[in-house]
Structures are given as C-alpha cells and as structure tokens.
Amino acid sequence: MTVIVYRDGIMAGDTAEWASGCIVSHAHKVQKTKDGWIFGCSGINAEIVKFEKWMHAGRIAPALKLKEIDALVLAPDGKVYKFEDADVVDYSNVKFYVIGACCDFARGALHAGASAEETVKLCIENLAYAGGKCEVLSLTKPYSRGKHLPIVEKDTKRGG
C-alpha cells in the first residue's frame, strides 16, 4: 500500500512495499529525474518499474499504456498530471492531490492545512497501510534520487 501526496510544489511519499498485508521491502516511491520532473507511483510493482524507466529515459513517445498503476507527476514548470489506467489528466488547477491507499485520511489532513510532508508523516503514524520513512522532493530545493529526507518511521513499539 502507498501514500503519495502533492502540495505547493512538494511531493512526499512513504517507502513501505507490501505483499499480502505485510511490509516486505522499502522503495523510493517518490523520485526526481535529471531534468527536474518529480513523480510518485502506486500500484503493481512491474508496472511501476516500467513507468520509472520511461520517466528517467525522458518520457519519449510512445506514451505508456499501463493498467494497474496510478502515478502523480510534477513537471518542472509546476504543472501536475495524474496517470491512471492509460489516461493522463491535468490536475494543475488543484491545491493538492493524493494517490494510494490512504486517500481519505490524507485529504482530511490536507484540508486541515497540513503540508505534503506532514500529511505523509500522519499517515505513517496513524494508518495500517502506510509505513517506512517519509521521503520528500521539491521543485525548488535541489534534492535528487538517493538524497531524500527521512522524516519519521512507524513506531513498532506501540504496535503500529
């Protein structure tokens, strides 16, 4: 399960990878390409890998036709796009957007004024299907893949 959150030029996501309700690994779900595009993915891992390769290769045509993936993409000019079931939708007019398993909770946090980073931290802290670390990428800060900001890990001592 996944939570990917966009707000104000910033994208944040958790790192936990799931199989049959268990965390089996951790991954960089939010990434930045060399030419400044930021993206986060939720869905079937094999489809996500194809999308990641396409993004890092410069988004060269033909466009991908993936069926079991949601991807949120932030262009260097600030435009926001959602890839879902082989469709691309421009969401540049929205203040924030969420994909993944924690959407309702995350939208509530965002409506209450939380940042993208705070929202993912809240999801990791309070929900069963967000986990690992919170990684944050920004259009205005020089973060790059492998230099994400670890924010919080789920407290396993509390059973959560």
Which is nearest to 97 in space by CA: 84, 116, 118? 116
Contact 69, 42 (CB under 8 A): yes
Domain ranges across the chain: 3-153
State residue 142's pLDDT score.
59
* Fold classification of 3-153 (topology level): Glutamine Phosphoribosylpyrophosphate, subunit 1, domain 1 (3.60.20)
State residue 62's pLDDT score.
67
What is the average per-residue pLDDT within 128-156?
A: 66
- Terminal C-alpha separation, the chain: 15
Q: What is the pLDDT of residues 29-42, one digit of tens each?
A: 999 999 999 999 99
